[in-house]
Structure 1
Amino acid sequence: MKMMKWLAVLACSVIILAGCSKKETVKIGAQTFSEQLILAHMVGLLVKEKAGLDVKVVSDLSSTSFNHQSMLNNDVQISFRYVGTDYTGTLKIEEQPKDMESALKTLQERFKSDFQQTWFPPLGFENTYGFTVRQELADELKLETVSDLKDAAKDLSLGTDQVWLERPFDGYPAFIEKYGFEFAKTFPMEVGLVYKAVQSKDVDVVIAYTTDARLKEYNLKVLADDKKLFPPYQASVVARDDLLKKHPAVKEVIDSLEGKIDTETMTALNYQVDVKLEEPEQVAKQFLIEKGLLNG
């Protein structure tokens, strides 16, 4: 009988010790496209090595609003956000920000006061909408900026997702007002199809994402938004304040990525995953090693 009691005490002790020795798991949220997965693994690898915490990448956040709610619910503690999206979407501000600095300041102040979250300085790249053409068409018409399309637009077709055609602040109505011209035809389509559509000459101009790997794959050119139709969409890390307070090393990890990833680099990293079919975690790891941020 004494032996049974002793074994029971021993079993309970083992369970308690096991529970005490288990590391805390930090959940890092990512939306369902390569760029976010790469970023999530970057932060995850650094948090694991530098902060000594276990990490889980939650890779099924379908939208910015779902991402935001997951952060509020503490289902994830770290996520990746874009200035313009959260400025007009999450904060529901109905006018365009004057510039990136003022928009960033507003986001940092409001996320701190309203949500108890820290919006970190930008990672260094911007993933925004961009008017995009085949390089050969750009060469033929000498296109460098969106304004350069004005004389030719009456003969050109535009492909874009339906949402952009209806967006009031930086969509097609705002474009017509700001740039002063329209395209001959517009073709609504899934955003993932626009790259192939313009490359195949089904349309002449498309609204694409500026860090998408298919820009490189299909030799497409993004025209400069010279009249600033689109708000700033710089990418940043957002983290819950309770996590940063409990684990200050996590803040140091995130700070180490500030300004380290420019648009060209992010596009190249996306290309490795989307076109060369490499694993996001391996692409992230190689980048961190090359930058001297992670031990090999």
Structure 2
Amino acid sequence: MKRLALLSTLLLLAGCGLKPASAFVPAVEPGSIRPIPSFEDATFRVTSKEFTEQLILGKIAVLALTAAGAEVEDHTNVQGSITSRRSVTGGENDLAWEYTGTGWINYLGQEDPLPDPKQQFEAVRKMDLEKNRIVWLAPYSPGNNTYTMTVTRQTKQKYGLNTLSDMAKVPVAARTFCVEPEFSSRNDGLRGMLKTYGIPYGTAVPPGNIFQMSAGVVYNTTAEGKCTFGEAYETDARIQSLDLQVLADDKKFFPNYNPAVTVREPVLRAHPEIAGIFAKIAPKLTTTVLRDLNSKVDVEGRDPVFVARDWMREQGLIR
């Protein structure tokens, strides 16, 4: 088994977690991911963004390709979506996990997300290939790192809240929201959500009911009951650790952010077996699984690479 070229930086700076990313990647052996003869002389460069979930996904890709017999350069832990993306489109890296909503809105400049996750995946896949020669590998993961609204268990029970439509059950005086500044101003954020669910900003939700703060503060403030509703990302571990309850987006307002592996077309053309490797992995990454993996890093303090390795072993993908 070839050894990895370990080029990870050592510090996470922001995003959904603030844990250090180890530059060490442990040795692994094949499981259901079997050695591929043509990988013997292949080298793949894998990147990821700097937040917890991306680090875990990046390490999963590194370990999977290693188990398949390739040389892997670990370039995970890049600050910012744009930087990571440009490293792939510019040819500095070969492969990265991306999110369908991010690709569609942020990279391809589309304003209106598609509510059906399959249609969204197929649309971003088609356009990114045509415009940038980037291939989105099927299948995409069922996990969805989209926006959501959370409440405490006590609030859920008090008002009978299960969906975002149920926000209208809460009296105006108690209809308070803790959100990030960006979420408050985005087209796919707070005001669009309130309009869609029939409780528009300014009338049904007075301006004084909106409290803006950093993402890290939102979760704790909501859990402490200082706001009735708190913005969250569905796969964030703090939902689980703080026992927050997710309200279902029953009108499908928020974009889908399903993870999928993106690969430069020349790389996939030279090594089409890459698609089969990640076809074994992607379907297993549900929202619940991603939230649990994130929790092991952000709550338990474990290193992303060991979280990735142990999960892959549990799934029989590697040994």
2: distance between equivalents of 1:254 and 1:163?
Answer: 33
Q: Offset at 1:68?
A: 1.7
Q: Offset at 1:161?
A: 0.9
2: distance between equivalents of 1:56 and 1:36?
Answer: 16
Is 1:43–1:253's contact at 8 Å kept on the other side of the alignment?
A: no
Equivalent in the alignment of 1:55: 72
Equivalent in the alignment of 1:249: 273
2: distance between equivalents of 1:250 and 1:195?
Answer: 38
Question: Which of 193, 196, 200 is equivalent to 1:178?
Answer: 196
1: distance between equivalents of 2:271 and 2:57?
Answer: 20
Q: Offset at 1:244?
A: 1.6
Equivalent in the alignment of 1:263: 287
Amino acid at match of 2:55: L
Equivalent in the alignment of 1:219: 243
Aligned with 1:259: secondary structure? helix
Deviates more, 1:37-46 or 1:90-99: 90-99
Q: Offset at 1:166?
A: 0.9
Is 1:153–1:183's contact at 8 Å kept on the other side of the alignment?
A: no
Ranges in structure 2 where 5+ consecutive residues have no aligned partner: 1-39
Ranges in structure 1 where 5+ consecutive residues have no aligned partner: 1-21
User: Rg larger in 1 or in 2?
Assistant: 1
Q: Offset at 1:24?
A: 4.8
Question: Which of 158, 162, 177 is equivalent to 1:158?
Answer: 177
Structure 1 segment 122-133 matched on structure 2, within 5 A = 122-133=140-151
Equivalent in the alignment of 1:276: 300
Amino acid at match of 2:124: L
Equivalent in the alignment of 1:18: none
Equivalent in the alignment of 1:134: 152
Q: Structure 1 residues 163, 290: closer, same or farther in 2, change over 3 A?
A: same
| Number of equivalent positions | 272
Structure 1 segment 40-189 matched on structure 2, within 5 A = 40-50=58-68, 52-120=69-137, 121-152=139-170, 154=172, 155-168=174-187, 170-181=188-199, 182-184=204-206, 185-189=209-213
Answer yes or no: is 1:207 the counterpart of 2:231: yes
Q: Structure 1 residues 153, 29: closer, same or farther in 2, change over 3 A?
A: farther
Per-residue CA deviation, residues 202-223 of structure 1 (Å, 9 max, x unaligned), is: 3221110001111111000010
Q: TM-score, normalised by structure 1?
A: 0.87
Q: Offset at 1:150?
A: 0.6
Is 2:115–2:253's contact at 8 Å kept on the other side of the alignment?
A: no
Q: Offset at 1:286?
A: 1.1
Aligned with 1:252: secondary structure? helix
Amino acid at match of 1:171: G
Answer yes or no: is 1:37 the counterpart of 2:55: yes
Equivalent in the alignment of 1:230: 254
Amino acid at match of 2:240: K
Is 1:30–1:57's contact at 8 Å kept on the other side of the alignment?
A: no
Per-residue CA deviation, residues 31-68 of structure 1 (Å, 9 max, x unaligned), is: 11111111111111110111x22223323323322222
Per-residue CA deviation, residues 141-184 of structure 1 (Å, 9 max, x unaligned), is: 1110011111315123201111111112x222212321111435
Aligned with 2:161: secondary structure? coil
Aligned with 2:196: secondary structure? helix
Amino acid at match of 2:95: I
Per-residue CA deviation, residues 83-127 of structure 1 (Å, 9 max, x unaligned), is: 112111111112231422221111111121111111022122111
Is 1:28–1:58's contact at 8 Å kept on the other side of the alignment?
A: yes
Amino acid at match of 1:37: L
Amino acid at match of 2:81: T
Aligned with 1:264: secondary structure? helix
What's the RMSD between the two structures over aligned residues?
A: 1.7
Q: What percent identity do the matched residue pairs reach? A: 27
Q: TM-score, normalised by structure 2?
A: 0.81
Question: Structure 1: which 4+ aligned runs deviate by more than 4 Å?
Answer: none
Is 1:160–1:191's contact at 8 Å kept on the other side of the alignment?
A: yes
Is 1:123–1:237's contact at 8 Å kept on the other side of the alignment?
A: no
* Bigger proportion of residues as helix: 1
